[in-house]
């Protein structure tokens, strides 16, 4: 299929059905990685920025038990609306309960309906603001203004909004400016992607691998870079997933 750069055609419901309708091996890898990060690194009381979070909350289920505050940023109005609907318990939005149940299992917590509701309410209370984000702007959160953040959570964003190197590097540089020195970057990317499918449409992707993203981050004053990889479960336009943590110095 042809690739479209018209992200106004991006449908949150189709994205959910395409990638998150069930917990496949790729999603299990992501949840396990995030569980280990937020249960290993002390983030108590830290301020986390979700960068280009799309219409998803799975990436924050483990984080919300650790960090003190979450600011959720996203480019598309429709995606920000999905997050607001989830926070307001709108029955028409995507249901993430199986993801919360899975994370509770990783934490050795009985995944009862009550426990799931407790975690949902915790996450809802930790998200203090939902704001626009444009990674091609030197000030990505403009017109909002925030102090630099302790933690950046970036999942399938800069490599999924462009198919050229210049824009990718600009996006990574711009979101890196939002992280304070000694701050933690938690990042997941598509590996060697050419595009990704959402419903009947294909959207652009920039091909990255472990060596390239590590060098990119080193050039932006990150160190202590730890990477993991996981092969793609299906033939979906990418070879696998890359998950990493890094510290800004």
How big is the CA angle at 200 (ends 199 and 201), to the nearest 5 degrees? 95
Residues 6+ apart with CB under 8 A from 39: 62, 66, 107
Which residues in 188-218 are b (16+ Cβ under 10 Å) and which e?
A: bbbbbbebbebeebbbbbbbbebebbbebbe
Q: How many helices (H) and strands (E) does the chain have?
A: 7, 9
Query: What CA–CA distance (Å, rounded) separates 170 from 240?
Result: 23
Cβ-based burial of 235 (10 A; exposed 0-12, middle 13-18, buried ≥19):
exposed
Is there a contact between 62 and 243 (Cβ–Cβ < 8 Å)?
A: no
CATH of the domain at 89: 3.40.50.150
Q: How many domains does the chain have?
A: 1
Domain membership flag for residue 181? yes
Query: What CA–CA distance (Å, rounded) separates 164 from 16?
Result: 26
pLDDT tens by residue, the chain, 249 residues: 689 999 999 999 999 999 999 999 999 999 999 999 999 999 999 999 999 999 999 999 999 999 999 999 999 999 999 999 999 999 999 999 999 999 999 999 999 999 999 999 999 999 999 999 999 999 999 999 999 999 999 999 999 999 999 999 999 999 999 999 999 999 999 999 999 999 999 999 999 999 999 999 999 999 999 999 999 998 888 999 999 999 999
Domain membership flag for residue 204? no
Query: What CA–CA distance (Å, rounded) separates 161 from 166?
Result: 12
Helix, strand or coil for residue 37? helix
Domain membership flag for residue 38? yes
Residues 6+ apart with CB under 8 A from 222: 176, 185, 246, 247, 248, 249
Domain membership flag for residue 156? yes
Domain membership flag for residue 207? no
pLDDT at 239: 96
pLDDT at 234: 86
SS3 of 210-243: HHHHHHHHHHCCEEEEEEEEEECCCCCCCCEEEE
Give the structural domain span for 46: 7-189
pLDDT at 236: 80
What predicted TM-score, i.e. pTM, was given to this entire model? 0.97
Sign of dihedral through CA atoms 127, 145, 160, 203? Answer: positive
Domain membership flag for residue 21? yes
Domain membership flag for residue 236? no
Is there a contact between 205 and 196 (Cβ–Cβ < 8 Å)?
A: yes
Domain membership flag for residue 243? no
pLDDT at 225: 98
Give the gyration radius of the chain's Cα atoms.
Answer: 17
pLDDT at 79: 98
């Amino acid at each position: 299929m042809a690739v479209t750069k018209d992200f106004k055609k991006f449908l949150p419901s189709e994205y959910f059905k395409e990638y998150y309708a069930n917990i496949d091996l790729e999603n299990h890898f992501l949840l396990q990685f995030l569980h280990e990060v937020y249960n290993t690194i002390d983030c108590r009381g830290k301020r986390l920025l979700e960068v280009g979070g799309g219409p998803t909350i799975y990436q924050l289920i483990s984080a919300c038990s650790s960090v003190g505050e979450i600011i959720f940023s996203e480019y598309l109005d429709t995606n920000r609306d999905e997050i607001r609907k989830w926070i307001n318990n709108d029955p028409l939005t995507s249901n993430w309960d199986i993801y919360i149940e899975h994370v509770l299992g990783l934490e050795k917590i009985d995944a009862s309906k009550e426990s799931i509701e407790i975690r949902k309410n915790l996450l809802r209370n930790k998200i203090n603001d939902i704001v626009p984000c444009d990674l091609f702007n030197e000030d990505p959160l403009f017109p909002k203004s925030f102090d630099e953040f302790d933690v950046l959570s970036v999942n399938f964003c800069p490599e999924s909004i462009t198919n050229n190197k210049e824009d990718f590097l600009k996006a990574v540089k711009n979101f890196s400016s939002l992280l304070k020195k000694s701050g933690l970057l938690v990042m997941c990317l598509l590996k060697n992607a050419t595009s990704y499918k959402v419903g009947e449409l294909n959207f652009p992707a920039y091909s990255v691998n472990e060596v390239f993203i590590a060098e990119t981050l080193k050039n932006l004053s990150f160190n202590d870079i730890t990477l993991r990889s996981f092969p793609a479960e299906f033939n979906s336009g990418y070879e696998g997933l890359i998950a990493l943590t890094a510290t800004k110095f």
